[in-house]
Structure 1
């Protein structure tokens, strides 16, 4: 029984560490791009809610939550690229 609890705890910590390491970075300047920065903030909030849902459901969401996190990370990267494109166009 103790072994099962230990294995579950280690697995949970590993998944949590992986989720925390992949969390989208908010790196768009709010001063230069307030709307894109706000969108990044919302992506970050959505990502955190997905992590919360995974933890509440013991990560048993059929891979859909993990896929949602991947798509949120992709959206975050697109927002960064949009800001960079705007910077290039307005130099």
Structure 2
């Protein structure tokens, strides 16, 4: 009985995590190493901003005129540009 309950809890948690992960597709993430501290720090702030905008969408039942969604798109673009900047710095041995 306890084993079945444990398995149920684990499967439930796994499916919840999977759904949450799918909902976060397109979300920016930190992938710049500590070698480029300023760029990494900026990327961390972008991730935080994206999460806060997502919270605002939930709090407002996604009735923000599409502007929050557009802001998230721009944050994702900025995140990618930072990644590219770090790549260029790496290519030049910095």
TM-score category (smaller protein): 0.7 to 0.9
Measured on the aligned residues, the alpha-carbon RMSD in Å equals 1.6
| Deviation of 1:89 (Å) | 0.8
TM-score, normalised on structure 1? Answer: 0.77
Unmatched runs of 5 consecutive residues or more in structure 1? 1-15
Task: Specify the SS of the correspondent of 1:21.
Answer: coil
Unmatched runs of 5 consecutive residues or more in structure 2? 1-19
Mapped contact 1:26–1:44 kept (Cα < 8 A) = yes
**Greater than 2 Å deviation, 4+ residue runs:** 16-19
| Deviation of 1:19 (Å) | 4.5
Structure with bigger gyration radius:
2
Instruction: Identify the residue that residue 3 of structure 2 maps to in structure 1.
Output: none
1:65 and 1:18 map into 2 onto residues whose CA distance is 19
| Deviation of 1:18 (Å) | 5.7
